Amino acid sequence: MENRRLFRSKIHLLFSLHFNGYLRDIRLFKAFLDVPLKDFIPNEIQNQVRFYDDAPVLFYLDKENPASLRTISAPHMISIMLQELLLNENDDLLILGAKSGYIAVLAHKLAPKGKIVILEANSKIAKITSENLNNQNLNGEIEVIVKNPLEGLPELSPWQKILVTGAIKQERISPLLQQLISAEGVLFAPIGENYLQTYTQIIRFGDEFYGKKFLKVRFTPLITQIELDELKLITDIDEFEAFGDIHKKDKTESANFKGNITVNYTSNILDEVRLEPHSKTQSYEINDKTIYDAIKEHMQYAINTKNKKESREYLEIINNSLEEIKKLIDKLKKDIKEKGIVDPRLADKKIKLIEKYQLEIKSVQSKLKKDLV
């Protein structure tokens, strides 16, 4: 279990993500609870990191090459990524860009019966990621391959889901889209050039591809540097393909994917069709009951629940954190009423939403207090 300070910060973050509409899937809420972020940050840079702020977290920096700095995406970004992939428990997922393995482990909690493969071009980052995954006792359930991520992995396609974790140009996604399963395969990526990209969800129905654009984001480019040996470095996919026979199998299979795919961004079909897992009878909604159940499940996962002292300390940390969150919400409600910090036309709607969250927190707290007795 994480120390008190970190765990309190995590609880605050999760409720903040929930209240602000980013975190909507209780499975992901519990995954965040179960997976300690600190386990994915090298010891030597942990003192440079603020854990559980809603901001990117540094995990890799080569001092001889400052431009090599790499971060794990901010929690609200991770929430958007994993939820818009529409992960089911048996989905196979291809992740382009390692991000230290943290996102992959969270995804594994949502798709525990599927295979997850990470393509990472930088061998040092791949090594760090593999070590992190081994420390999570996943027994090889997530594989890391040093390879140009822009090619995808056609030899293991089709994939139910593909997640791109770095900026990618529109023309680079066609080979990846061809590797999606034809029955509602989903790709999610920050697509664009230069400094700004658009988080984009693309879903495949047969030979048709439909896209939905979300918010504007700023991501570093997807690393495409391939280490073919200790001396030769390849920095672009066009140069990589010129080496021909070195990756003959991959090239042969990729050669079947010719031309660009047309993605229909104007259709509203993605708003009208409720895809899995949201169309299932089982709901993944976050509410007072599912939060309480997630906390109890996490206790069984993280600590020896037979140890009454540890269990009590755990519940007290959460209870105290909820008290602090209640105070923050009360202050926000007061400020809206007295200081008009929200557009008056939206004030009533905002207050009703706050009151809903107040009831939710009180209900969770009430259940936890019964466990403390």
Percentage of the chain lying above the pLDDT 90 cut: 53
Helices (H) and strands (E) in the chain — how many of each? Answer: 12, 12
How many CB atoms are located within 10 Å of the residue 7 CB? 19
Cα–Cα distance for residue pair 36/52, rounded to 1 Å: 10
Q: Which of 364, 366, 341 is nearest to 351 (CA)?
A: 341
pLDDT for res 86: 93
**For strand 197-205 and strand 208-217, is the pairing parallel, antiparallel, or unpaired?**
antiparallel
Q: Say if residue 229's pLDDT is above 60.
A: no
Cα–Cα distance for residue pair 225/292, rounded to 1 Å: 45
Q: Which residue has the tokens 């396609």?
A: 157
pLDDT for res 369: 87
Phi, psi of 5 (to 5 degrees): -65, -45
pLDDT for res 89: 93
More confident residue, 113 or 247: 113
As a whole number, the mean pLDDT across the chain is 84
Q: pLDDT tens, 296-323?
A: 999 888 877 777 888 888 889 999 999 9
Q: Band of the pLDDT at 252, cuts 50, 70, 90?
A: very low
Cα–Cα distance for residue pair 127/133, rounded to 1 Å: 10
Cα–Cα distance for residue pair 356/353, rounded to 1 Å: 5
Q: pLDDT tens, 63-91?
A: 777 667 889 999 999 999 999 999 999 99
pLDDT for res 28: 97
Percentage of the chain lying above the pLDDT 70 cut: 86
Q: pLDDT tens, 47-57?
A: 888 999 999 99
Q: Write the DSSP symbol of residue 194.
A: T
Q: Band of the pLDDT at 259, cuts 50, 70, 90?
A: low
Cα–Cα distance for residue pair 109/30, rounded to 1 Å: 9
Q: Band of the pLDDT at 276, cuts 50, 70, 90?
A: low
Contact 330, 359 (CB under 8 A): no
Q: Whole-model pTM?
A: 0.86
Q: Band of the pLDDT at 273, cuts 50, 70, 90?
A: low
Provide mean pLDDT across the span 132-152: 90
Q: Band of the pLDDT at 274, cuts 50, 70, 90?
A: low
pLDDT for res 83: 94
Phi, psi of 190 (to 5 degrees): -85, 105
pLDDT for res 248: 36
Contact 2, 52 (CB under 8 A): no
Cα–Cα distance for residue pair 11/259, rounded to 1 Å: 47
